[in-house]
Structure 1
């Protein structure tokens, strides 16, 4: 078995651990799959046994799922074995994700999804295995994750690389189609991947670049990596090139080996693309795998690279549109933050200073060639941080601490009088700025767990930093009140005239895939009810809109947005439905009961389960 041979080389003595973790990973994936199918209503369901059994309609029968608890956002605790009951009443144990997939989606038409699930299981088991090894190396060095991270050269990198499970609400949480297990151990963040990024020289006839403030990828990288400057000059002299005719596209080493050398041969041979292999850029892999932080450095830019690999449901290349929109939106948001001091105190963004993509000479395969040789340089959120400040991705809060065995969010909440007191401070950190952007400026960003970096000061959350403009929606009717000229090109797909679309993006990202995951994790592990924690979130929303209503220019919008947020059903992206229908970019939503609703009736299932 390839994985076992790999472990013998990489982690000798952990082969048995991997086999144990393989079962653990498969069970977790099975439960995530059931969770997603239930929440997204992929198949019909009903409750039986006084609400203690979830019954899903599957091929030629029913799938019985024992459930011990149902939460506000329809999370379930699966407690016991799953049973398939056929039409004759015969039962069969369902203890593997593959068996469950065959029942839910019979036939070969779902074969891609099958492979993605099984690929995720293997990678998740590898992640659990290496996490066990890493934990043993550091478990006695600190009492908690925040204090240990503060001693590191880049606390953010430590937390990013300690996100073991990956996506919390997608059953393909560790899918990496196209990577071998060897690739995973070399480049993945949970394996403390340190890719040496390759500078690729690109001729002026073969690139398009968009800059926030007039800088280029070349000017930034030559300044931040001094050895690169001499290497750049040497290669231009050696090949008799005009230095001013060339820019630099940072390329992930995996991408060079598996994509660039295969699909860009003609321009490589014609010296329109030229690898500068004397110097590489040392980096650390972040949660998203393709986004990279400078190795042991808090000042240099982060680099978002293209990797032609499917992770969860999408191939992680960098679209031409994103290389253009990123710097443009960063310039817009910087203007807003410069003018709005109150907003900038609670929220900032990782500005995308420059984006660059390859510009092919021919129309054939144009989109593929553009997005597979592309990159974005982002501001480093750790630059200029104070001694007592630590930045972490919100996703890491749901990771198990290597020091206490608790979740990192449990450790953080443990410094407070109660988990709900922590939730109030946390919501006060991530909500007001995001809500102001939506209601005042008509800008809705996906502030989900992976895209939100939270800065803690002496153990207390203080500021949110958003990254990545994927999924952003802008309502120009609101934004243009603050600008003499319309700042966003109306031909882009970023714009909407529908106020509810702004709030749908907010609802999925910040309610479901952020606060909802944190609150349900604390409810599962502490004695505090999730209703009590959601009341703290509601309090922050009320306080934020009370303040916004004082601004006569946005008074009406504030009332409308607050009413919709606090009363209408929440929208959650149906990620499995989107995958099964091959709709990767067109959002499909399902409505989930509201966390702030005062339920007048309690269903039989709810009363039995709570």
Structure 2
């Protein structure tokens, strides 16, 4: 259990850049430019001009500069720009010029609203995103067909895009090049947690009502490791009963905790016990780790003070206090609901948590701050024990994944399932969309249902049910007057009535389905209108079975002609260190007009 990491100076210097070469660099710049053009046009920050609408040819001039981009695109539902990456060209003073994503951001900084204060950090995030993309596209990666047969964690580490909407989606500011290969999900390196003994005077443990601290530690560490840790404390003349055992990400320990919490370390309020025995692998959410030594054991999620996609990725010790209680309450509601139970929808509970408070930062900083979120951890159920015979797991993010040759996992799954695209999609919608509709309309409950937060259970590569994760931080009850137990009262949020439906339109329709539809059309031969018809049928099937909710269906109308366009990149560009106030997310939303609702055309007459 050596606690000393290999110093960067002893590693080959060229390893930091060996994946960077002209060919891969040109490819990833072209791909990121395609995404930037598409998403910034979608959010109406940039307005490409049609040269020949019938041929789908467009131009975009940089303001005040003799710079012009040209490309071919299809305008699809939800004002999605499906751009042909190979068609993108750049001309300066009429002469061909190489594509450069960083230069593109600088050229269009004015219409993108990037000021001098945010520009350096945003360029850092773009550079880091390109660096990671070059690694992913330069490695030997599993093909789309191979991913339909791969195990859960092989799929997880094979993902190459990150969040589909954000341009700077792999910033990870704080990691150096050595950290990248050690801790980035795509690197797939095994990670061993650092275990610390933390004094009970500053740490709080919370758990499900039927899970004790002793049981958790026994199951996670085992008797031999527990005895060894206890012996180390006694060797320092410390009483083990005065301490809780707490895991930390190794990066967090070496870069933050051992320094920012050095007073607590010196006073033996934090005692480093060394590395644990089990190996973990970083998930797409980067601070969540899956146990690869014992997959049936729990995930561990830790504070990780790197800046990524608009937030410092900490965990609040105050949120940790209520985390298990929130999960327990939500799980009880789901299990008691006949519709959700029949559907198979469930959550992966966050079963226990520990938060440690640094008195210096607590007393000095009044407002919410990442400095108060540097040292917390939680344990989440593993999905592995929940599988039935013949079932397998796959992150829902894989449905948007294209391999390095541009082939889609979604199309490969459909082919391998033996189902028609229409049958496959309708099974998927029953597993994913239908339970989320029920949670919204029946329970006033919303999650954050993007691809990384859902795990699909597949049989013969067809979806049979969905498992929701990341519960306590990203679940809300859209009823400010809901009678909730005191411990979980923070779930209740006040949202303007007209914005409640955006939790479905923005997070599901615009945030996920918008990207699925072009893949299905181009690589599975399933027309875009056929997909949206299936979505409409799923909504209608649910609503037809719940006449008691007719008033809610009318008030929050999923067949409305249009809905408000809520923009994620506008949020990040406005404040790339803290995009929104998590205590009141609705007040920070950035809107840009409306979108035509693609299922409105399928509304049945009254």
In the superposition, the TM-score normalised over structure 1's length comes to: 0.85
Aligned to 1:316: 313
Residue equivalent to 2:149: 147
Q: Distance in 2 between matches of 1:374 and 1:177?
A: 20
Q: How do residues 165-184 of structure 1 correspond to structure 2 at under 5 angstroms? A: 165-184=161-180
Residue in structure 2 matched with residue 522 of structure 1 by the alignment: 520
Determine which of 136, 139, 143 is the counterpart of 1:127.
Answer: 136
> Structure 1 residues 27 and 325, CA, compared in 2 at 3 Å: closer, same or farther?
farther
2:247 to 246, 250, 258: 250
Deviation string for 1:43-84 (max 9, x for gaps)?
455434336344446430574432231111222233423446
Match of 1:67 among 53, 67, 72: 72
The alignment status of 1:575 with 2:582, answered yes or no, reads no
- Change over 3 Å in CA distance of 1:430–1:490 after alignment to 2: closer
CA distance 1:488–1:127, change in 2 (3 Å) = farther
Which of 31, 36, 56 is 2:34 aligned to?
31
The alignment status of 1:102 with 2:99, answered yes or no, reads: no
Shift of 1:208: 2.8
Q: CA deviation at 1:493?
A: 7.0
Unaligned 5+ runs, structure 2: 1-7, 581-587
Cα deviations across residues 377-414 of structure 1 (Å, max 9, x unaligned)?
A: 11112223123111111002222469x97321111111
Q: Separation in 1 of the partners of 2:382 and 2:167?
A: 31
Matched, 1:448 2:453: no
For the structure 1 residues 494 and 175, does the alpha-carbon distance in structure 2 shift closer, same or farther, using more than 3 Å as the test? farther
Given the alignment, which residue of 358, 374, 377 partners 2:376? 374
Cα 1:475/1:388, change in 2 over 3 Å: same
Contact 2:351–2:379 (Cα < 8 Å) also in 1: yes
2:303 is aligned with 1:303: no
| Partner-residue secondary structure (3-state), 1:205 | coil
Question: For this pair of structures, how many residues does the alignment match?
Answer: 568
Return the alpha-carbon distance in structure 2 between the equivalents of residues 501 and 221 of structure 1: 43
Partner of 2:464: 462
For residue 165 of structure 2, give the secondary structure of its aligned residue in structure 1: coil
Match of 2:4? none
| Residues 189 and 286, structure 1, Cα contact 8 Å, conserved in 2 | yes
Q: Which 10-residue stretch deviates more, 185-194 or 98-107?
A: 98-107
Tell me if the contact between 2:414 and 2:421 (Cα under 8 Å) persists in the aligned partners: yes
Q: Give the aligned partner of residue 607 of structure 1.
A: none
* Alignment partners' CA distance in 1, 2:90 and 2:147: 39
Secondary structure of residue in 2 paired with 1:315:
strand
SS in 2 for 1:209: strand
Q: CA deviation at 1:596?
A: 1.3
Counterpart pick for 2:325 among 322, 328, 331: 328
Task: Name the structure 2 match of 1:565.
Answer: 558
| 2:583 matched residue in structure 1 | none
Cα distance in 2 for residues equivalent to 1:599 and 1:542: 10
Aligned-pair distance for 1:90?
Answer: 5.2
| 1:218–1:247 contact (8 Å) kept in structure 2 | no
In structure 2, do the counterparts of structure 1 residues 392 and 532 end up closer, same or farther at CA, with 3 Å as the change threshold?
Answer: same
Partner of 1:411: 412
Distance 1:50 1:369, change over 3 A: closer
**Using the alignment, how far apart are the partners of 1:253 and 1:436 within structure 2?**
40
**RMSD value over aligned CA atoms?**
3.0
Is residue 211 of structure 2 the alignment partner of residue 215 of structure 1? Answer: yes
Q: 2:388 aligns with which of 383, 386, 389?
A: 386
1:421 is aligned to 2:430: no
Query: Are residues 241 and 573 of structure 1, via their aligned partners in 2, closer, same or farther at CA, if it must alter by over 3 Å?
Result: farther
Q: For residues 458 and 599 of structure 1, what CA distance do their matches in structure 2 show? A: 31
In structure 2, distance between residues paired with 1:545 and 1:144: 38
In the alignment, which residue of structure 2 is the partner of 1:292? 289
Q: Aligned match of 2:538 in 517, 537, 540?
A: 540
Distance 1:505 1:321 in 2: 25
> Which one of 529, 535, 553 corresponds to residue 531 of structure 1?
529
TM-superposed deviation, 1:160: 1.3
- Bigger drift between 171-180 and 212-221 goes to 212-221
Q: Distance in 2 between matches of 1:592 and 1:392?
A: 31
Task: Indicate the residue corresponding to 2:192 in structure 1.
Answer: 196
Measure, in 2, the Cα distance between the counterparts of 1:572 and 1:235: 57
1:111 correspondence with 2:120: yes
Judging changes above 3 Å, is the alpha-carbon distance between structure 1 residues 502 and 277 closer, same or farther for their aligned structure 2 residues?
same
The structure-2 alpha-carbon separation of the partners of 1:191 and 1:431, relative to structure 1 and needing over 3 Å to count, comes to: same
Separation (CA, whole Å) in 2 of partners of 1:477 and 1:468 = 22
The unaligned stretches of length 5 or more in structure 1 are 150-154, 601-610
Displacement after TM superposition at 1:242 (Å): 2.3
Mapped to 1, the partners of 2:512 and 2:225 lie a distance apart of 40
Q: CA deviation at 1:24?
A: 1.2
CA distance in 2, matches of 1:161, 1:570: 35
8 Å CA contact 2:199, 2:270 repeated in 1: yes
**How far apart, in 2, do the equivalents of 1:381 and 1:475 lie?**
28
How has the CA–CA distance of structure 1 residues 418 and 458 changed in structure 2, closer, same or farther, with 3 Å as cutoff? closer
